[in-house]
Amino acid sequence: MTCREFEPMLHAFVDGELDVETTTAAQAHVSSCPECHGRVDGERRLRLLLGQQPQDVAPPELRARLLAVARWERRRAALRVWLGVPAFAIAAVLLAALLMTRAMPPGPSAPRFVDTLVDKHLVYAQIESPAEFTSSEPGQVAAWLRNRIGMRVPVPDYSHAGIRLVGARIAEADERKLAYLLYEKGHMLMSVFMLPDAAEAQTLPGKAVSYRGHEYLTRERKSLRTVSWRDGQAVFSLVSMLDYDALLECADRLRAERARETRL
């Protein structure tokens, strides 16, 4: 091999991109030609220098965000499979507990209100970060909600049932502020909206059922089941793809958690 022949393959040689035969021939030339040897040496030094450059690493927050994005995206895709409906109707599990504040203006009719919550859930199921505050610690979530809306709100722990707390947000439905909790079970969502103190007597929609000595109203809409009830001044409404047994169990625990909070 001559210098002229070697020249065009200098970089491929240094980068180890030549085939075995050509590499052998090139190596033989480089060993016998001080000038080409110098060039190869120079290229290697440059590569070495570049390889020693400090390398940026992705910030941990970005990493965490991407993992969350992947989880949400997969959940949405899986829901699409489950529901067999287009992306807009994606929804997993919603557990919406509704409590209304005294300060709020009289609301619209109850059926429409619960429907609004179902729609809210459908929206939250599709956005990438449904929770404004992310924590799996009920105490932290309760504290955040207390600071944000100045209300004591029960944050039940369902982890024994594999239902993990994701976080919370302040939701708005019909110009009312709702406290909203979000849970997930595997790829499924479970959200909780919470607002204490409903001013006016709301007529809640649905079929009356009794569970562990308490009355609940059940209603199905857009493939989601809702379980609603009144507890003192508060109105709760759970909306979910979970079956009614699971929902009622969640409702019962939420009720117990609220009773415990009230005693404190």
Partner 1 sequence: MLRWVRGRGQAPEFEDVALVHLDLLYRTALRLTHNRAEAEDLVQETWLRALRHFDQFDPGSNCRAWLVTILRNAFLNKLRREGRERLESEAAGDSAGSATFEDSAVERSTPEEEFLQTVFHGDVERALKTLSEASRQVIMLADLEGFTYREIAQVLSCPIGTVMSRLSRARQLLRKELRALAREHGYSEGSR
Q: Which residues bind partner 1 (CB under 8 A)?
A: 7, 10-12, 15, 17, 34-35, 37-39, 41-43, 45-47, 49-59, 62-63, 65-67, 69-70, 73-74, 77-78, 81-82, 185-188, 242-243, 245-246
Which residue's entry shows tokens 């965000």?
Answer: 65
| Local structure of residue 106 (DSSP, 8 states) | P
Pick the closer one to partner 1 by CB: 63 or 102: 63
- The span from the CA of 134 to the CA of 249, in Å, is 24
Compute the least distance from the CB of residue 217 to partner 1, in Å.
21
Pick the closer one to partner 1 by CB: 99 or 238: 238
- Residue 178 corresponds to which tokens in the numbers above? 């709702």
| Crossing angle for the helix pair 20-32 and 34-51, to the nearest 10 degrees | 110
The answer to whether the CB of 122 falls within 8 A of the CB of 89 is yes
- The span from the CA of 10 to the CA of 26, in Å, is 9
Pick the closer one to partner 1 by CB: 35 or 137: 35
Pick the closer one to partner 1 by CB: 17 or 172: 17
Pick the closer one to partner 1 by CB: 50 or 201: 50
Compute the least distance from the CB of residue 66 to partner 1, in Å.
5
**Greatest Cα pair distance in the chain:** 97
Which element (helix H / strand E) includes 251?
helix 244-263
Compute the least distance from the CB of residue 183 to partner 1, in Å.
12
**Per-position b or e across 12-44, b if 16+ CB within 10 A of its CB:** ebbeeebeeebeebbeebbeebeebeebbeeee
Pick the closer one to partner 1 by CB: 78 or 149: 78
